[in-house]
């Protein structure tokens, strides 16, 4: 992470992934897709924290609560019982919303040394898929990289 301008986490971990506040340097932009990837102390120490939005869907009987939001869960009843809920949940805090910055209601970064944190709840990782698509197209255009087997990335469910 040292010397990085942007640090993004996108994991399926149920444990905190970035735990040490000493890793955070002035001017970094931090972002995540899960409510438990960052130590809450890092989030608290960030100069500006914004989240994507607030949950708007009420949970129906049988839905599972993960990270303070409704989660769509596929699989049979036995598989669903094996899904672990994280102990840390930074998304449930009441942070300003991205739309507050977009509308001008809230200022974004006002100094290059500010640490900003974007709690990216609710996009299902679409920004990563979009970026990956661009990278793949650009790599193909430049004749870079190599094909890897799809089955390397497939699994049943966390054990």
Establish if 142 belongs to a structural domain. no
CATH number, domain with residue 113: 3.40.50.720
Q: What is the pLDDT of residue 93?
A: 77
Establish if 158 belongs to a structural domain. no
Q: What is the DSSP string of 27-79?
A: T-EEEESSTTSB-HHHHHHSSEEEES----PPPPTT-EEETTEEE---S-HHH
Question: Which single residue is written with the structure tokens 């930074």?
Answer: 90
Q: Based on the structure, what is the number of domains in the chain?
A: 1
Q: What is the pLDDT of residue 24?
A: 96
Establish if 145 belongs to a structural domain. no
CA pair distance 119, 38, nearest whole angstrom: 10
CA pair distance 45, 150, nearest whole angstrom: 39
Q: How many CB atoms lie within 10 A of CB 21?
A: 14
Establish if 138 belongs to a structural domain. no
Establish if 15 belongs to a structural domain. yes
* Domain extent at residue 120: 6-124
Q: What is the pLDDT of residue 6?
A: 94
Establish if 110 belongs to a structural domain. yes
Q: What is the pLDDT of residue 83?
A: 65
Residues of the chain scoring pLDDT < 50: 59, 61, 64-70, 72
Q: Are 128 and 10 in contact (CB under 8 A)?
A: yes
Establish if 63 belongs to a structural domain. yes
Task: Specify the 3-state DSSP secondary structure of 87.
Answer: coil
CA pair distance 82, 92, nearest whole angstrom: 23
Establish if 12 belongs to a structural domain. yes
């Amino acid at each position: 992470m040292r010397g990085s301008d942007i640090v993004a986490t996108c994991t399926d971990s149920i444990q905190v992934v970035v735990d040490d506040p000493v890793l955070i340097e002035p001017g970094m932009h931090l972002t995540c897709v899960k409510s438990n990837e960052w130590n809450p102390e890092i989030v608290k120490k960030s100069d500006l924290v914004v989240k994507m939005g607030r949950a708007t869907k009420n949970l129906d009987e049988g839905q599972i609560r993960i990270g303070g939001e409704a989660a769509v869960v596929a699989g049979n009843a036995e598989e669903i019982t094996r899904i672990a809920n994280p102990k840390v949940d930074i998304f449930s805090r009441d942070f300003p919303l991205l739309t507050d910055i977009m509308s001008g209601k809230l200022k974004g970064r006002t100094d290059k040394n500010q640490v900003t944190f974007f709690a990216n709840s609710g996009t299902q990782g679409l920004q990563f898929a979009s970026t990956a698509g661009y990278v793949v197209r650009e790599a193909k255009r430049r004749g870079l990289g190599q094909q890897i087997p799809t089955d390397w990335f497939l699994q049943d469910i966390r054990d």
